Amino acid sequence: MRALLLGLLLSAATCPGGVRWGAVNSQPTEWYASDEARAMAANVIGYQQPAGGWPKNRDMTRPRLAEPAVPRAPGDPADPNAPTIDNGATTTQIEFLARVHTATGDAAAREAALRGIDYLLVAQYPNGGWPQFYPLRAGYYSRITYNDNAMTHVLEVLRGVRDARPPYAWADPARRKGAEFAIERAIDCLLKTQVRQDGRLLGWCAQHDENTLAPAWARNFEPPSLSGNESVALARFLMTIERPTPEVVAAIEGAVAWLEASRITGLRVETFTAADGERDRRAVADPSAPPLWARFYELGTNRPIFLGRDRVVRYDYNEIERERRLGYAYLGDWPQRLLERDYPQWRAKHGRKP
């Protein structure tokens, strides 16, 4: 098996192909049986870590290069290969390997995908949340991570496993049962972490404390707050529950009402060339602009807030530093499709009046 894997890795180094890693799970079904996909699967297996997950921000269309052996303790923050669910890591690899196995029957791809699924099941907290890194890292990495929809991506994989839907139709009964239990715990976590104010359910923070479940800090520019981005994916996931309980219905209705009330009108974000000749971005008044939502809303006041790397709360997007204006999405239209399409469809499906 090791000789076969090595052969595939070597062939991948010279295998021509144009599929980018970011598009690896959106190819035609027949592509997953191609030589290119099989070679890429060998690359992906080569990046898998002993814990079963994968590192982030790696182009796995290329083989993993030999690295000097550096002894590292589990959770070492300096480990560039630490497995995580951040930035689509681990969930992307599991889905890709599942597609390759479905198309080819490749046993190595199936085994690696199963190890990845087991990693997700083991990494879940008893309260139903997932940390950003597992084995755990000190600091915000161990918070329950909704940020960038990391936990939502995990739930999408586990839902496919639970239901044995393509590309997980081959999932065994034990994994399907494990996925079902994990999803049940995760839903309970979502209901408990939803922010409530003055008796009303609102949205979620991008990360919550793994012990108290309260909104929590991540990086200096990611404060305890209500998220106009991550709350969308969480509400959308709850809408996929076939037989929602009254608690789930209340959570969806609360989140949607909060998003409706939190839209920002008359503001447009534009990119321009500053006086120094460098690229910049700013928010400008525009009565005809479509609605926007803030990434962060202040707890208690629901005012849009903007923080740079100095951790100072500001209420004007244009007051944070240029590097963050260009490098982070503080304003966007994330809830638009949920409010205009997904929510009305959900209400119609469950016989709820408009």
The DSSP result for 267-322, as a single string, is: EEEEEEE-TTS-EEEEEEE-TTPPPBEES-B-TTT--B-EE-TT--EES-GGGS-H
Torsion sign (Cα): 324, 326, 329, 330: positive
Residues with Cβ < 8 Å from 249, sequence gap 6 or more?
Answer: 350
Q: Residue 196: which H helix or E strand, with range?
A: strand 196-197
| pLDDT beyond 90 at 16 | no
Kindly report, as residue ranges, where domains of CATH 1.50.10.20 are found in the chain. 1-66+79-193, 195-354
Assign domain 1-66+79-193 one CATH number from 3.30.1330.40, 3.30.1490.20, 1.50.10.20, 2.60.120.200.
1.50.10.20
Tokens of 353: 């009046």
Q: How far apart are the first and last CA of the chain?
A: 58
Tokens of 117: 């699924």
**Residues designated as active site:** 87, 219
**Distance between CA 339 and CA 228 in Å, rounded?**
12
Over residues 38-70, the pLDDT tens digits come to: 999 999 999 999 999 999 999 999 999 877 767
At residue 171, the 3 state secondary structure works out as: coil
Q: Residue 3: which H helix or E strand, with range?
A: helix 2-14
Percent of the chain with pLDDT over 70: 94
**Distance between CA 128 and CA 71 in Å, rounded?**
31
Torsion sign (Cα): 136, 142, 147, 152: positive
Alpha helices of 48-172 — where are they, by DSSP H?
91-104, 107-123, 150-163
Q: What are phi and psi of 45, to 5 degrees?
A: -60, -35
Q: What are phi and psi of 282, to 5 degrees?
A: -150, 160
The arithmetic mean of pLDDT across residues 78-86, rounded, is 93
DSSP state at residue 167 = T
Over residues 310-348, the pLDDT tens digits come to: 999 999 999 999 999 999 999 999 999 999 999 999 999
CATH match of 195-354 with 1.50.10.20: yes
pTM: 0.92
pLDDT of residue 17: 54
Over residues 122-179, the pLDDT tens digits come to: 999 999 999 999 999 999 999 999 999 999 999 999 999 999 999 999 999 999 999 9
Most distant pair of Cα atoms in the chain: their distance:
65
